[in-house]
Amino acid sequence: MRKYWVAIASAEHVRLGRLHGFMQVCHGKSGPLKRIHPGDLVVYYSPTLEFGGKNKLQAFTAIGIVKPRAAYQVMMDKGFHPYRLDVSWAQSQDASIYPLLELLDFSQGKKNWGYLLRFGLFEVKEKDMAIIAKAMQAYEQLMK
C-alpha cells in the first residue's frame, strides 16, 4: 500500500537532489529511509533557502515517486557518507505552506504545526498529499 511522506530540507539541498534524482533525510541517516518504499510519494518542505541559513522560504519545493532501489550510501567530502533513495521527481512549482495550513490534517487548527518538521520526515494522509500536489501543480502527474 502506497504511503505519503513529507521530508524536510533546505531548498538548496532539495534542488541538488532533484537535479541528480535522489532524496536524503536527517543529515543522511539510513534509518528514516527504511520506512519509505518504492512507489511511495514524497514531498519536500523547505523552511529555508540554504542549509543553516536565515532566509526563510517555508514552501513545498519538490514532489515525486520513490523508485524501486534500496537505500544506498554515497561518499562525499570530509568523511560525510549519506544514505539516499532514488526518486522520479515530477514537474512542479514551489508552493507556500501558508495557504494550506488550514486544509492539511497535520496542521489544521494547530498553532505549533512546525513541531512535526523537527523530525525531518513524517507520514501524512493521502488527502494531505493530494492538496499539496494540487498546490504544486503536480496532481495530474502523481495522484491519478
pLDDT digits (tens, 9 = 90+) for 9-28: 999 999 999 999 999 999 89
Please give the backbone phi and psi of residue 70, each rounded to the nearest 5 degrees, phi first: -65, 160
Listed residue (10, 12, 119, 23) closest to 74, CA to CA: 23
What whole-number distance in Å separates Cα of residue 106 and Cα of residue 135? 16
Q: Which residues have CB under 8 Å from 104's CB, separation 6+?
A: 124, 128, 131, 132
Residue 117 is predicted with a pLDDT of 87
* Domains in the chain with CATH codes: 4-142 (3.10.590.10)
pTM beyond 0.85: yes
Locate 2 and state its grid cell. 502506497
Question: For residues 63 and 42, is the Cβ–Cβ distance under 8 A?
Answer: yes
